[in-house]
Amino acid sequence: MENREDLNSILEFLPVVFRSPALFWPSKVVEALKALSKGPEHSKVDSGEVLFLAISDLRQSLCLSSGALAFSTADGFSLYFDDLMSRAEANKWFGEVLPALADSLLRLPVMLEDHYKSADSVTCVGARDGLKTGLRLLKSQEAGVVVLSQELIGALLACAFFCLFPDSTRGANHLQVINFDHLFASLYDNYNEKQENKIKCLIHYFGRICSSIPVGNVSFERKVLAVDPNVNYIPHPEAESWSKSVAPLCLFEVCSSGLIEDHSKEALEVDFANKYFGGGALTRGCVQEEIRFMINPELIAGMLFLPCMADNEAIEVVGAERFSQYTGYASSFRFCGDFVDKKDTDIMGRRKTRIIAIDALVNPGKRQYRHEFLVREVNKAFCGFSDPCKSHRYQLLFKDDRFSEAELDHDLKSVANNSDNILGIGPSASFEDEVGIATGNWGCGAFGGDPELKAIIQWLAASQALRPFMVYYTFGLEALQTLDKVTKWITSHRWNVGDLWNMIADYSTQRSKKETQVGFFNWLLPLLSSDDPMILDP
Ligand SMILES: *[C@@H]1O[C@H](CO)[C@@H](O)[C@H](O)[C@H]1NC(C)=O
Ligand SMILES: *[C@@H]1O[C@H](CO)[C@@H](O)[C@H](O)[C@H]1NC(C)=O
C-alpha cells in the first residue's frame, strides 16, 4: 500500500486491520460476515434481537468492548426491527438488505485499498499537483479534501450501523460518535416518532444502495481562513478589512416559503451546523442539520474523519445524494417515501449538490452585538462561501494595504485570467461563477441568534465571496417580514460591503451600549413599518 501516511492518520478509527502490505478483517469477522451475507436461513439472523447478538459477536472479534455501546442499544434494535417495522419490511430487511450490507463489509478492505490507489493517481480538475484526496483525518487548521466513492461510503455507513468503529479515542481527537448505537438506544429510552422516522430514512437508504450500488463520488473539504499569514489559504479578514471592502452587494432574493434543499438554481446550500459536523444526527437531534443528514445520509461519512470546526473553519461537501422525502421539523419530522435525486453530475462524478456547514455562535445573547463576535460570524460565513481560486481578488476588494494601486489595477486584470486554485477541487472557474448561496435563519433556532443581524451578515459574506446571488428562505419568520423591503432599499442605494458593514457595526455598538433596543431593520429605516412607499424611493 502506497498511501501509508493517509492511512496511518485514520487507521485507529477504522475497524479493519492493517498488516503490511494489506488491509483485512480478522478471520472470525470474515466467517460471521460470510454467514450473514448468505441470508437468514444460514445466519439465523431474522430479528432485531438476534441481530444485536450478531453485532455483539462481531464487536468481540474486533476486541471492542460490549460495555462501550449505549446502554439500551439491544432494546432499541429489538423495538425497531421486531415491533415498529412491518412484517413485510422486516422480511425484505433480513432477507435482502442485511445480507447485501454484510457483503459490502466483506469487500471493505479491498474497497479501501482501491481507494488509496486511485487517490494516489488522481489528478483533480484544475488541481495543484500533489493534491491529496485519500481518506484521512482532516485535522483542524489544515485545509484539505477527501474524495470517497458512494460505494465506499455505503460500506462505511454499514460499519456504523453494525457499530464496528472503534470509539475509545474519538472524543480525545474531537471526533463525535459515528456508530449507530445511540440512535437506536434513544429510540427505546425515550420513544418518539421523530427518532423512529430518522431511522426509517437510514434504513431506506440502505435498501436503496443494496438494490443498486450508486456510482458517483462525494468530496468532503475542510476550508480554513489563514490566521497565520505564511499559510497559502485565504487570509482571515479583520474588522478593518470589512469596513474598507469595496465589493458590491450581491442580488438578494427573499422566499417566504420553500426549503433550501429544494432550491433549483446552482447554489451552495447552507447547513446550519454544529461545530461537530452532523450535530445530533446520530443521537436525538432533529433540526435543520440533522434532517439534512437523514435525507442525504452520505453526509454522515464525514463525521468519521472531520474533527470539530474552529471559528475560522467551514466544511463543504459536494455530491451527497438525496434518498428520502420528508415532512415536518423537529418533533413533527416524518419520513415520507423515496426521493429520486435528479441533480446533474460534474466531471468528477459528483452530484452538483454543494452543502456548506457553518456553525453559528451558540446562545450569543447580547454578546452577538460586540464587534469581535460580528467579525467571528461574518468570517465563519465567508469561509464557507468563499472559493479558494478567488483568494487574490478578495484581498483586492478588501483594499489590503499590501497592494499598491498600480498592483491592484494590474492584478484585477490578470485575476480575470487566472484560475490558480489552491485546492482545485471546485468545478471550472466559469462554472463556479454561476453558483450562489441558498440559506435561511442560520443560528436563529435552537442557537438563539438575532435573525435580522444574521441575514445581513450572510449577505455581506456572500457578496465579499463574489457570489452572484443569495436566496434567503425565511420559513415565514415574523421578525423577517420586512426583509424584502429592507434589502431592496439597501440595494437601491448601491451600498457596497464596506458601507453595509459600517452600518451594522454602528448599530451593534449602539445596541451593546443599550442606546437602542430596536431591531436593525427598524433602526435603519424607522419609517418602514408605516408602509409608506415614499421612503423606499432612492
Ligand atoms: C470517482 O473518482 C475516481 C477518482 O477518485 C475516478 O477514477 C472515477 O472515475 C470517479 N467516478 C466517476 C463516476 O466519475
Ligand atoms: C489575459 O488574457 C488575455 C487573452 O487571453 C491576454 O490578452 C491578456 O494579456 C491577459 N492579461 C493578463 C494581465 O495576463
Ligand 2 atom closest to the CA of 416, numbered from 1: 1
Return d(Cα 289, Cα 272) in angstroms, integer: 6
Question: Atom 1, ligand 1: which residue's CA is nearest?
Answer: 217
Ligand 1 atom closest to the CA of 147, numbered from 1: 5
Length of the chain: 538
| Grid cell of 344 as nine digits | 446533474
Taking the centre of ligand 2 as the mean of its atom positions, its distance from the CA of residue 353, in whole angstroms, is 33
| Grid cell of 457 as nine digits | 451578515
Return d(Cα 150, Cα 134) in angstroms, integer: 14
Ligand 2 atom closest to the CA of 413, numbered from 1: 13
Catalytic annotation, residues: 271, 289-290
Taking the centre of ligand 1 as the mean of its atom positions, its distance from the CA of residue 222, in whole angstroms, is 20
Q: Which of 239, 86, 213 is nearest to 157 (CA)?
A: 213
Question: Atom 7, ligand 2: which residue's CA is nearest?
Answer: 417
Taking the centre of ligand 1 as the mean of its atom positions, its distance from the CA of residue 455, in whole angstroms, is 37
* DSSP letter string, 21-50: TEEE--HHHHHHHHHHHT-HHHH---SHHH
Render each residue's pLDDT in the chain as its tens digit; 538 residues.
556 788 889 999 999 999 888 999 999 999 999 999 999 999 999 999 999 999 999 999 999 976 789 999 999 999 999 999 999 999 999 999 999 999 999 999 999 999 999 886 655 544 444 578 999 999 999 999 999 999 999 999 999 999 999 989 999 999 999 999 999 999 999 999 999 999 999 999 999 999 999 999 999 999 999 888 777 788 899 999 999 999 999 999 999 999 999 988 889 999 999 999 999 999 999 999 999 999 999 999 999 999 999 999 999 999 999 999 999 999 999 999 999 999 999 999 999 999 999 999 999 999 999 999 999 999 999 999 999 888 888 888 887 666 555 655 665 555 444 444 444 444 444 456 789 999 999 999 888 899 999 999 999 999 999 999 999 999 999 999 999 999 999 999 999 999 999 999 999 999 999 999 999 999 999 877 655 554 554 4
Measured from the CB, is residue 219 less than 6 Å from ligand 1? no
Q: What is the pLDDT of residue 402?
A: 60
The CA distances from residue 87 to 200, 351, 529, in Å, are: 15, 35, 58
Q: H-helix or E-strand containing 470?
A: strand 469-473
Measured from the CB, is residue 413 less than 6 Å from ligand 2? yes
At 79, the amino acid letter reads L
Residue with cell 468503529: 165
Global pTM value: 0.91
Q: Where are the domains of the chain?
A: 239-257+359-536
The CA distances from residue 142 to 148, 162, 318, 443, 473, in Å, are: 19, 31, 19, 25, 32
Taking the centre of ligand 1 as the mean of its atom positions, its distance from the CA of residue 119, in whole angstroms, is 10
Measured from the CB, is residue 367 less than 6 Å from ligand 2? no
Q: What is the pLDDT of residue 411?
A: 54
Taking the centre of ligand 2 as the mean of its atom positions, its distance from the CA of residue 416, in whole angstroms, is 8
Return d(Cα 183, Cα 89) in angstroms, integer: 20
Q: Are 500 and 242 in contact (CB under 8 A)?
A: no
274 appears as a binding residue in the annotation: yes
Q: What is the pLDDT of residue 405?
A: 59
Q: Which of 245, 271, 308 is nearest to 496 (CA)?
A: 245
Measured from the CB, is residue 215 less than 6 Å from ligand 1? yes
**Which of 393, 410, 414 most suits a substitution to test ligand 2, by most atoms within 8 Å of the C-beta?**
414
